[in-house]
Amino acid sequence: MITITVEDRNGETRDIELPTDVNLNLMEALKASEYNILATCGGMALCATCHVQVLEGMEKLSPAEDAELDMLDTLFDADADSRLACQLRINEAMDGLKVKIRGDEH
């Protein structure tokens, strides 16, 4: 199990514990933890509604692929610490990661 700290759109923070052996991405884990993530495209890096800001632990993540970078480029509020949660596969290296949910709610 790993622990990821999540800040929601209201600024409320809580830790979620996630197994690393079920092949989930962060978007799926956030939805399962009852966060309001739209995820319109279902995790294909086509909509950016699962946009998160990495507050701590960017070095723990694999580099963004071209499709993710292209989608982030379309967002007015994306920055160097932005990622798409659907492109982040849960793994042991992510223990201690801190993210803030940024994507659209509806």
The CATH number linked to 13 is 3.10.20.30
- Do 43 and 103 contact (CB within 8 A), yes or no? no
Domain count, the chain: 1
Q: Does any domain span residue 11?
A: yes
Q: What pTM did the predictor assign? A: 0.93
Q: Does any domain span residue 49?
A: yes
Q: Does any domain span residue 106?
A: no
Q: What is the pLDDT of residues 38-69, one digit of tens each?
A: 888 888 888 899 999 999 999 999 999 999 99
For residue 106, what pLDDT is reported? 58
Instruction: Give the list of residues 6+ apart from residue 39 with CB closer than 8 angstroms, or none.
Output: 27, 31, 47, 49, 50, 86
- Give dist(CA 79, CA 23) in Å, integer: 27
Give me the chain's average pLDDT, please.
Answer: 93
Read off the pLDDT band of 9 (50, 70, 90): very high
- Give dist(CA 13, CA 98) in Å, integer: 10
Position 12 pLDDT exceeds 90: yes
- Do 24 and 90 contact (CB within 8 A), yes or no? yes
